[in-house]
C-alpha cells in the first residue's frame, strides 16, 4: 500500500479515496501537512475510532487521547524528557545494551553464525525501554536469547490491535471472545500482570527508602534514587490533584514502551540494511568513527587498547573502551552518523502513515475540501520520495543532503515528518537519536554486515514499517 500511494501522490499532492460512508484523504505536500498538524491542529484529533481500537493496549496514555487529558500528560512528560537525570540515565542504559548486542555479534562472527538483526535490535530496544521506563531488567538480550512472556505478549497484542484497522469482524470476535481477540485478551492479561506487579514493587521500594531515611533522620542516600519514568510518575502521582491511579501509571509506561521499542529497532534495521546496500556510506561512517575515537583518546589522554580481531577477549575490551567515549555530548560531534540515521528515516520512516480524524468541514491550503467524520492521513513514506519535496534525487539514499560544510542541517518538520510536527511532535526524538547513534556507532565501527544470500527484505504492512522476514545477515569484525 505504501508504494501504491507513492505512485498516486507523485502525480497529485492530495489523493482522496472514497469509502462506504466516508472519505480517506492522503496528503504529501508540506503546506497541507502544516495545516493539519499545526495551523488547524484542534480540528484533526486522533479521534474516537483510533482510541477505541487501541484502548485495550494503550488505555488513556499520551498516544491514545486528545484534549485536556493529552495536554496534561504532554506537559508532565515534556518536563521529564527535558531532565538531565533521565538523559544521563538513558545514556548509561543505551550504552549497556549496545555493548550486550556487540558481544552477541562478536560471538556470531567468531562462529560464522547467521543472525537476524531485526530480532536482536527489537530485543535490545525492548530491554532498554523497560529499564528506562520501568527500571527493570527483563533480559531478552541475554546471550542465549531467551523467550520472555511479557515480550511475546506485547508483540502479539501490538500486531492484533493493528490488524483491527483492516478486520471488519473484530468487534464480533471480541464479543464472542474467539480467534485473534481471544488471543489478545490473554496477551493483555500477561502484560497487565507484569506491569501492575512492577508498579506495586516500585511503590513498596519508594516507601521503604523513605522509612529508612526517616529512621536515620539523615540526608537521603542518592544511590537509592531511581531515575526511570515509572518512579518519576509515582512521585508525581502523590499530588492529589494529579489523579494518577495505578491504571494511569500502567498506561503511561506502556505508551512509552510501545513508542520507544518498535520505532527505534525498525529504524536501526533499515539503517543496517542501507549500509549494506551502500558500502561507500558504511566506509565513510567508519572513517568518521575512527577519527572520533583517536581524537577523543588524545583529549582524555588515554591509550587505546591494542586488539586482535581474532581474539575475542581483546576485541571486546576495545569495543567497551570505545563505548565509554560515547557520551551524550560527544555523540553530538558525529554529524555524518546523524545524517545517516536521518536519511534512513526520510526513506524508511518508522511510522509510514499517520491518520487524523476530522471534527468539522475544512479546506486544505491546496483547495481540497475535507468533510467532518472523514480521515486525513499524512504519509511520511511517500513524502520522503517526492521530487517536489526533495528534488530529482529524492529516491536516492544520500546522507550528504543533510550536511552543509560538514555540519548537520535540519529540514522543516512539515517536510521531514518522521517525528510528526506541531503540538504533537515526538517528545522522545532526542532520546531515540541518542539510542540509535550509540548503537550504530558501535556496530559500524567494529562490524561489517552481509545479507544472507537469497534473503528477501520487504516491509510488513503494519502501523510500524518493520521488515516482514527480519534481516538475516552474516557478521565479520573490523580492525
Residue numbers in the chain where pLDDT is lower than 50: 222-223
pLDDT at position 389 is 97
C-alpha–C-alpha distance, residues 219 and 221, integer Å: 7
Q: How far is CA 17 from the centre of its chain?
A: 30
Instruction: Work out the mean pLDDT of the chain and round it to a whole number.
Output: 92
C-alpha–C-alpha distance, residues 23 and 37, integer Å: 19
pLDDT at position 225 is 65
Known binding residue 130? Answer is no
pLDDT at position 184 is 96
Q: Which residues of 24-53 are buried (b: 16+ CB within 10 A; e: fewer)?
A: ebbbbbbebbbbbbbebeebbbbbeebbeb
Instruction: Give the tens place of pLDDT for each residue, 149-165.
Output: 998 898 899 889 888 88
Q: What are phi and psi of 222, to 5 degrees?
A: -65, -20
Residue appearing with cell numbers 501490538 = 158
pLDDT at position 367 is 96
- The CATH number of the domain covering residues in 40-349+418-477: 1.10.630.10
pTM: 0.92
Contact 37, 424 (CB under 8 A): yes
Percentage of residues of the chain with pLDDT beyond 90: 71
Contact 372, 361 (CB under 8 A): yes
Cα–Cα separations (whole angstroms), residue 273 to 44, 73, 453, 458: 35, 36, 14, 11
Instruction: Give the tens place of pLDDT for each residue, 187-211.
Output: 999 999 999 998 999 898 888 888 8
Domain extent listing, the chain: 40-349+418-477
C-alpha–C-alpha distance, residues 366 and 44, integer Å: 17
Burial class (CB in 10 A: 0-12, 13-18, 19+), 313: exposed
Residues facing 25 on adjacent strands:
16, 376
C-alpha–C-alpha distance, residues 7 and 13, integer Å: 11
Q: What are phi and psi of 111, to 5 degrees?
A: -100, 5
Q: How many CA atoms lie within 13 A of 298 on its CB side?
A: 6
What are 11's three cell numbers? Answer: 502525480
What are 16's three cell numbers? Answer: 482522496
pLDDT at position 72 is 84
Amino acid at each position: 500500500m505504501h508504494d501504491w500511494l507513492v505512485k498516486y501522490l507523485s502525480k497529485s499532492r492530495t489523493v482522496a479515496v472514497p469509502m462506504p460512508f466516508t472519505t480517506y484523504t492522503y496528503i504529501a505536500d508540506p503546506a497541507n501537512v502544516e495545516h493539519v498538524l499545526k495551523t488547524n491542529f484542534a480540528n484533526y484529533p486522533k479521534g474516537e475510532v483510533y482510541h477505541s481500537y487501541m484502548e485495550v493496549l494503550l488505555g488513556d496514555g499520551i498516544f491514545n487521547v486528545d484534549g485536556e487529558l493529552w495536554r496534561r500528560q504532554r506537559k508532565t512528560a515534556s518536563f521529564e524528557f527535558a531532565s538531565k537525570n533521565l538523559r544521563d540515565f538513558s545514556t548509561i542504559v543505551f550504552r549497556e545494551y549496545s555493548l550486550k548486542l556487540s558481544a552477541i555479534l562478536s560471538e556470531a562472527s567468531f562462529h560464522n553464525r547467521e543472525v537476524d538483526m531485526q530480532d536482536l535490535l527489537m530485543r535490545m530496544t525492548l530491554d532498554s525501554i523497560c529499564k528506562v521506563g520501568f527500571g527493570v531488567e527483563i533480559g531478552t538480550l541475554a546471550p542465549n536469547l531467551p523467550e520472555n512472556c511479557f515480550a511475546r505478549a506485547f508483540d502479539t497484542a501490538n500486531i492484533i490491535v493493528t490488524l483491527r484497522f483492516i478486520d471488519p469482524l473484530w468487534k464480533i470476535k471480541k464479543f464472542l471472545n474467539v480467534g485473534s481477540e481471544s488471543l489478545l485478551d490473554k496477551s493483555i492479561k500477561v502484560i497487565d500482570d507484569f506491569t501492575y506487579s512492577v508498579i506495586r514493587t516500585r511503590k513498596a521500594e519508594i516507601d521503604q527508602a523513605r522509612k529508612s531515611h526517616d529512621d536515620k533522620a539523615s540526608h537521603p542516600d542518592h544511590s537509592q534514587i531511581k531515575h526511570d519514568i515509572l518512579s518519576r510518575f509515582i512521585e508525581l502521582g502523590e499530588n492529589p490533584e494529579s489523579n494518577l491511579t495505578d491504571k494511569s501509571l500502567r498506561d503511561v509506561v506502556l505508551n512509552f514502551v510501545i513508542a520507544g521499542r518498535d520505532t527505534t529497532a525498525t529504524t536501526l534495521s533499515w539503517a543496517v540494511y542501507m549500509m549494506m546496500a551502500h558500502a561507500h556510506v558504511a566506509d565513510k561512517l567508519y572513517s568518521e568513527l575512527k577519527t572520533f575515537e583517536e581524537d577523543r583518546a588524545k583529549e582524555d589522554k588515554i591509550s587505546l587498547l591494542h586488539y586482535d580481531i581474532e581474539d575475542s577477549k581483546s576485541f571486546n575490551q576495545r569495543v567497551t573502551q570505545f563505548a565509554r567515549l560515547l557520551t551524550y555530548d560527544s555523540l553530538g560531534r558525529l554529524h555524518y552518523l546523524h545524517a545517516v540515521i536521518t536519511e534512513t528515516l526520510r526513506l524508511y520512516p518508522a511510522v509510514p502513515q499517520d491518520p487524523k480524524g476530522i471534527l468539522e468541514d475544512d479546506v486544505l491550503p491546496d483547495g481540497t475540501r475535507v468533510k467532518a467524520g472523514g480521515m486525513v492521513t499524512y504519509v511520511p513514506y511517500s513524502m520522503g520520495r517526492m521530487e517536489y519535496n526533495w528534488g530529482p534525487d529524492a529516491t536516492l539514499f544520500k546522507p550528504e543532503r543533510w550536511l552543509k560544510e560538514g555540519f548537520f542541517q535540519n529540514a522543516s518538520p512539515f517536510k521531514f515528518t518522521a517525528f510528526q510536527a506541531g503540538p504533537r511532535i515526538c517528545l522522545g526524538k532526542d532520546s531515540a537519536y541518542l539510542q540509535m547513534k550509540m548503537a550504530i556507532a558501535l556496530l559500524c565501527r567494529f562490524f561489517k554486515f552481509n545479507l544472507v544470500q537469497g534473503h528477501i527484505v520487504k516491509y510488513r504492512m503494519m502501523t510500524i514499517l518493520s521488515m516482514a522476514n527480519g534481516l538475516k545477515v552474516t557478521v565479520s569484525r573490523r580492525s
